[in-house]
Amino acid sequence: MNQYITGEIIKELREKNRLTQADLASLINVSDKTVSKWETGKGYPDISLLEPLAGVFKVSVAELLAGDAVVNANVSSNMLRSIFYICPVCGNIIHSMGETVVHCHGVQLKPEPASETDENHSINWEKVEDEYYVTIEHEMTKTHNISFIAAVSPDRLQLVKLYPEGNAEARFKINVVKRLYFYCNRDGLFYVDIRTAKNNRINR
């Protein structure tokens, strides 16, 4: 059983929710002595109590099992707070508007940190009628390629999956696009904020 749902963490979450041991015990139908045992490391919550505990602490069962509390300040669902998770096994791409708990192929995925575009990862975009035509100067082999390009607006995400031997390019409806992301399978996630970029060719 993961330590997240025992000991100090239960105590921390209980106190955060301003509950006494007796309060928590009453809410999940156990004795306060049982809660005390959990908090002192002398016992573990039964699996049947995971959902009630999650409900009391206002977290998901997945968070309890993952071992990390996920706190999202993103209550307004702003796409500009986009987070990407990429599976190292299959290359699956998962998008979220805030931190969450994600598993793929039995692996818990961590948010992919996004870096500003660098000299080895240049990106171009130009307006073509009502679209941005985006190209990336990068090899596209099976071992080194750009996996996807995404365009993010305050209210939507547009994502194009790319494949080896193809071109690193995509077209996106302009739709007040604010930021472009792309993922290199060797070097990770990159972004450029097109609102503040000095020109359409980023090559620092």
Domain with CATH 2.60.40.730 in the chain: 114-202
Which CATH code, of 3.40.50.410, 2.60.120.260, 3.30.420.40, 2.60.40.730, is assigned to 114-202?
Answer: 2.60.40.730
C-alpha distances in Å from residue 17, one per residue of 10, 12, 75, 161: 11, 9, 19, 42
Which band of pLDDT confidence, cut at 50, 70 and 90, is reported for residue 202? very low
Between CA 30 and CA 183 the distance in angstroms is 48
Contact of 64 with 6, CB cutoff 8 Å: no
Which band of pLDDT confidence, cut at 50, 70 and 90, is reported for residue 68? low
- Is 81 a residue whose pLDDT tops 80? yes
pLDDT score of 203:
36
CATH topology for the 3-66 domain: 434 Repressor (Amino-terminal Domain) (1.10.260)
Contact of 202 with 135, CB cutoff 8 Å: no
Q: What is the pLDDT of residues 161-183, one digit of tens each?
A: 999 999 999 999 998 899 999 99
Q: pTM of whole model > 0.85?
A: no
C-alpha distances in Å from residue 137, one per residue of 35, 99, 126: 58, 30, 14
Q: What is the pLDDT of residues 4-27, one digit of tens each?
A: 465 777 888 888 889 999 999 999
Share of the chain above pLDDT 90, in %: 42
The structure tokens listed for 138 are: 């990068």
Domain with CATH 1.10.260.40 in the chain: 3-66
- Is 67 a residue whose pLDDT tops 70? no
Q: What is the pLDDT of residues 83-93, one digit of tens each?
A: 999 998 888 99
- Is 127 a residue whose pLDDT tops 60? yes
Between CA 35 and CA 59 the distance in angstroms is 18
Strand-pair category, 114-116 with 188-193:
parallel
